[in-house]
Amino acid sequence: MALQDVCKWQSPDTQGPSPHLPRAGGWAVPRGCDPQTFLQIHGPRLAHGTTTLAFRFRHGVIAAADTRSSCGSYVACPASCKVIPVHQHLLGTTSGTSADCATWYRVLQRELRLRELREGQLPSVASAAKLLSAMMSRYRGLDLCVATALCGWDRSGPMLFYVYSDGTRLQGDIFSVGSGSPYAYGVLDRGYRYDMSTQEAYALARCAVAHATHRDAYSGGSVDLFHVRESGWEHVSRSDACVLYMELQKLLEPEPEEDASHAHPEPATAHRAAEDRELSVGPGEMTPGDSRMPAGTETV
């Protein structure tokens, strides 16, 4: 028998308006208030954090990022992908609001595909960065939060650009974005060289992200590593950040010291050497380290 037949229970009208949500047509704000200004002042402030990095070297472009998506003190997803492919020769790291980053990368993929169909070839990395910067700059001041590093290989070789949601566009060799970027920059500035080998670049990227996840509370999970070559990008590995940091610490541990008996002579040996030195010195002689006056020079 159904529940409503036993206790005369009636299901709520799910089609009608909910008392906890505003009416259809928009969110209700006090009269005389601009919705955008009201949400900026009274809206929720949730801290976001991440660690992403990219650097250019002679064998291509390396992109690495952690996989923790945080929302304040809450870990929303421990295994998210913060490196998004655009096409076979272009990908980008994402930092900021996850929804904004995913949306604008879908828009960029669509626009680049349309331009490829019109022109018959893929646009350069610089053109893609300029296009993304121009599109996002129109939404300046609307709480759009997207910070990305575009990594690609075109006719000019390996290229790296940083693009921010306010329209900022920079070209460089090293970029790190997110709350863990100061720690990542410390490792990158010490070990980066343009003529690195591929394995040295992999080790440097893993080390930088692993140290950042250890110090930054909003970064963690795993370390995703991508490599953009002339033939296209490839996903190199995904390593657990905690295990990777512990392995790096073991490599940095100092070697055990030598036996103390070899480093420091025994006290008896030192005492015997001092006695032999005293016997070899005559009664009227004075050694350089002896502060006593000889017996023949004493005065009455």
Residues 130, 161: Cα–Cα separation, whole Å: 9
Give all strands of the β-sheet with 222-229 in edge-to-edge order: 174-177, 52-57, 60-66, 222-229, 232-240
Angle at 25 between CA 21 and CA 26, to 5 degrees: 60
Give me the catalytic one of 14, 37, 50, 297: 50
- Assess whether 213 carries a catalytic annotation: no
Residues whose CB is less than 8 angstroms from the CB of residue 104 and which lie 6 or more positions away in sequence, other chains included = 132, 135, 136, 146
Do residues 158 and 196 touch, judged by C-beta distance below 8 A? no
Angle at 116 between CA 115 and CA 122, to 5 degrees: 115
Residues 81, 258: Cα–Cα separation, whole Å: 47
Active site residue ranges? 50
